[in-house]
Structure 1
C-alpha cells in the first residue's frame, strides 16, 4: 500500500509524518518541486522510526512522479500563500495552474488513486482537480471540514473543560468565514451542546471557528500546519483502512442539499472507494439559508476561475 503527499511544506510534511507514525501505509512518498526538501524531510522522519517504533517507509523525491506510481491515495498540498500586493485573482490563477499540473501527473502514474486536495482556495482547487482528473467524483475530495470541525470541537472542549474525545460535531459549507457549524448536531458525551452551554457562548465559538485559520496566522505570521496535516492524514487513513468513517468532506454535489455542480463540505461515509455516500441531514430554514449563502460565495470564486481560463 502506497500513499503520496505532494508538497513537502509544513502541512504536507506533517501529514506524511502522522501517516508514518500511525503506520497507515507500507510506503509513503513525499514529493516537492524544490530540490532536496522532500528528500531531507523524509530522511529526517525515517530516522525517528527506531524511536517511535513504526515500519512505514518514507521516501522523498524532487518532482519525480514516477516514484509515486501505484499510489492508493494522493494528498495535494501544493500551492503558494497570498503575498503582499497579490490580488485574489492572481492567487487563484497561480494555484489552479499548480493543482492542474500536479493532478495531471498524479493521474498519469496512479490512475486509480483517490485524490485529497488541501491547496487553497480549497473548494475551487477541488473543482480544478476534478475537471483535470476526469475521474469519478467519489475519488476527488477536499480536506476542510475535518479541520474546521476539529477546531470547533477543540474550542468547545476548552470552554467546557472536557475531553475533546467526547465531542461530536457537524460543520458544513465552504472553507472560510462562510462555513456552517451546526450546534443542533453537536453533542458532548451524547448530551446536546445546547444543554450544556449558553447560546452566546456557542455563537462566540462559532465565530472563532470561522476565523480559526486567521487567528493562527496573526500569532505565527504564517498558516497553521499541525491541525491541517493531521486532518488530511485522518482522511487518508479512513480510505486506506476502509474505516467507513462519517466525516465532513468537501464533495462534488449533484443535487444534495439543493446544490448542484459545486464542491461544498457535507457529511460523507469515507472508505476504500473514496466518498462512498453523501449523507443528507435535515436542515432548518436558518441553516438552509447559511448553506445557500456559503454556496453562493464558492460559486463567486468558481466564476473567477472560469473567467481566468486557466483550465
Structure 2
C-alpha cells in the first residue's frame, strides 16, 4: 500500500525530529518534507536512513502543492515556537496565517487527507483548518485532529515522578478539554492502572500537566519551546492513525482535539451537553479507517475535575471563536 505523509514545517525544531521518527515508520512509503528554508539538507540527511520511505524535499511556497499532492496524512508543526513571556494569544497572531495558507493548500491538493495540527495555539488553529475546509467544500470533521498527545505523555511521566514504581509507558491518564494551560484537564480519577492520590498530589500534578510547557520554555532560556517531546507526541499520534488506517487495527483510543461534528449523530447531543455546546473539544477518541470512529464521553469525574472542566469550557469558547473569526475576516 502506498502511504504518503507530508510534514509542513519539516525543517523546524519540531519538524526535524518528527520527520526522523516518521522515517523510521515502515508503513510510510513517501515522506514529503515542506518548509520555506533549510529543508533540502534535512531531506538529504533523512534520505540516507535504510527504511522504505522515499524522502522528497519541497522548499518555498511554490512547492507546497507538490508536497501535499495526494498525501494521505498531513502533519503541521509549522510556525514560530513560544518564547519566554509569550502567551498562546501572541502565537496566534503570527501562526494563524501560516495555518490558513497550509489548510488552503491541503484543501486543494489532498482534501481527503488526515490532518494532524500541532501548531499552537491548537485550540484556535484546528478551527481555522475546519473553517478553511468548509469554505472550500471539502470538510470532513472525522479527518481533522488537534494533537494533544504531549499532554498525555507528560501526564504519564509526571505520575511516575510521584509514584516511582509505576511504569510510565503503562500509565494512561485521559486528558480532555484543549491544549493550553487551564483548558488542559487531566482526569486523574480515571487513571489506568488505578492509583491513589492525595488532594495535594492531584493539584500539584494538574498544575504541572497544564503548564509543563513552561518548564521547557524557561529551561531553554529563549532558545525555543518543547520540540523533542512534541515530536515524540506527534509521531505517536501519527502512528496511531497509521495503525488504524493502514493496518486496520481496532480499539485504538487516543485523546485528541476534534470537532463534535465528527461524532455519531446518536451520541453528538450527549457529548455537546458535556461541554456546554462547544464545537471543538479534546475527548478520548477511538480511531478507525475513516479517522474518528467514536468519540468517547468524558464520563464520571470528581468534584475537583468538574471545576476544571467548567474553566476549560469557558476558555475554549473564546479560543474557538477566535479561529472562526480569523478565517471569516480574511476571506
Residue in structure 1 matched with residue 45 of structure 2 by the alignment: 44
CA contact (8 A) 1:15 1:233 kept: yes
Residue in structure 1 matched with residue 79 of structure 2 by the alignment: 79
User: Could you list the runs of 5+ residues in structure 1 that have no partner in the other structure?
Assistant: none
1:1-311 pair list within 5 angstroms: 1-8=3-10, 9-34=12-37, 37-47=38-48, 49-50=49-50, 54-63=51-60, 64=63, 65-81=65-81, 91-134=91-134, 135-144=139-148, 146-161=149-164, 162-178=166-182, 179-187=184-192, 190=193, 192-194=194-196, 197-221=197-221, 222-242=224-244, 243-244=249-250, 245-254=252-261, 255=269, 256=271, 257-284=274-301, 285-305=303-323, 309-310=329-330
Aligned to 2:80, what secondary structure does the other structure show?
coil
Question: Structure 1 residue 281: deviation in Å?
Answer: 3.5
Question: Structure 1 residue 88: deviation in Å?
Answer: 6.3
TM-score by length of 1: 0.88
Question: Structure 1 residue 140: deviation in Å?
Answer: 0.9
Closer, same or farther: CA 184–56 of 1 in aligned 2, 3 Å: same
TM-score by length of 2: 0.83
Q: How many residues align?
A: 299
User: Could you list the runs of 5+ residues in structure 2 that have no partner in the other structure?
Assistant: 262-268
Question: Structure 1 residue 84: deviation in Å?
Answer: 8.3
More strand by share: 1
Question: Structure 1 residue 265: deviation in Å?
Answer: 1.2
CA contact (8 A) 1:39 1:62 kept: yes
Aligned to 1:152, what secondary structure does the other structure show?
helix
For residues 59-103 of structure 1, what are the alpha-carbon distances to aligned partners after superposition, in whole Å with 9 as ceiling and x for unaligned?
221131213311111011122235689886564233221111101
CA contact (8 A) 1:250 1:266 kept: yes
